[in-house]
C-alpha cells in the first residue's frame, strides 16, 4: 500500500470514529438518566377506602372513593365519594358527593357537587334525603352544615332553604333562611 492510501484510511477512520463519538454523546444527552425531582408529589389511590376512628381507636366511619389524590402535603382530594358510619355507631346516614376535600388537622370534609345525604329509618318509615351542591361534614361530631341552597325530602314532603345545620346522631335539622315547603298529608 502506498503512503497516500494509508493516510486516507487513517483520516477516514478518524472521521468515522469522531462522528460516532459525537452522535453517541448527543444520544446519551437525549436519553440520559433523569434527575429525580425532590419536590413533594404526593400519592393517588384508585378505589380508595379510608377509615376514621374514635378516640379509643375503634372504627367510626369509612370514606370510599373511586379516586383519591394527595394534592398538597396537607390536603387529599377525592372523586365519587361515599361516607358511611359503621353499624356499631348506630348512625344510619350515608353521604355521597362528586368531590371531597380532606385537610390535615381538620375533622371537616368539604363535599362538592351533587351532595346527597340519606338517613335510613329502622322502621318502615320514609328515608330522609338532603341534597345540596356544597356541604361541610364533620363525621366525628356527626354534624353536616351548608350555607348553600338545600332540599330536604321525607317521603312525599319536601322543604327547600338556604343554609342548614344537621345533627345526624340526634336526627335534627335546623334550616337557616328562605324556608319553603310542600307538606302533603
Q: Is residue 30 part of a domain?
A: no
Q: How does residue 96 score in pLDDT terms, banded at 50, 70 and 90?
A: very high
pLDDT at 38: 52
Between 72 and 98, where is the model more confident?
A: 98
Q: Is residue 160 part of a domain?
A: yes
- The 10s digit of each residue's pLDDT in 134-150 is 999 999 899 999 999 99
**Three cell numbers at 7?**
493516510
Q: Is residue 99 part of a domain?
A: yes
Mean pLDDT lowest for which of 20-24, 59-63, 162-166?
20-24
Q: Is residue 1 part of a domain?
A: no
Total domains present in the chain = 1
CATH number, domain with residue 98: 2.60.450.10
- The 10s digit of each residue's pLDDT in 42-84 is 788 899 998 888 888 888 999 999 999 988 788 999 999 999 9
**Structural domain for 124, as ranges:** 44-182
Amino acid at each position: 500500500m502506498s503512503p497516500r492510501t494509508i493516510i486516507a484510511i487513517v483520516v477516514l477512520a478518524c472521521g468515522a470514529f469522531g462522528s460516532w463519538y459525537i452522535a453517541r454523546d448527543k444520544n446519551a444527552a437525549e436519553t440520559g438518566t433523569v434527575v429525580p425531582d425532590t419536590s413533594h408529589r404526593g400519592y393517588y389511590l384508585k378505589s380508595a377506602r379510608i377509615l376514621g376512628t374514635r378516640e379509643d381507636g375503634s372504627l367510626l366511619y369509612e370514606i370510599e372513593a373511586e379516586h383519591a389524590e394527595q394534592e398538597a402535603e396537607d390536603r387529599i382530594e377525592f372523586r365519587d365519594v361515599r361516607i358511611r358510619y359503621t353499624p356499631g355507631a348506630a348512625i344510619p346516614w350515608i353521604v355521597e358527593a362528586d368531590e371531597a376535600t380532606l385537610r390535615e388537622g381538620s375533622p371537616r370534609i368539604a363535599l362538592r357537587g351533587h351532595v346527597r345525604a340519606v338517613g335510613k329509618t329502622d322502621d318502615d318509615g320514609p328515608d330522609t334525603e338532603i341534597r345540596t351542591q356544597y356541604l361541610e361534614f364533620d363525621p366525628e361530631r356527626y354534624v353536616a352544615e351548608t350555607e348553600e341552597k338545600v332540599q330536604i325530602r321525607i317521603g312525599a314532603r319536601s322543604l327547600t332553604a338556604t343554609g342548614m345545620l344537621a345533627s345526624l346522631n340526634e336526627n335534627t335539622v335546623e334550616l337557616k333562611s328562605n324556608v319553603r315547603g310542600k307538606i302533603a298529608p
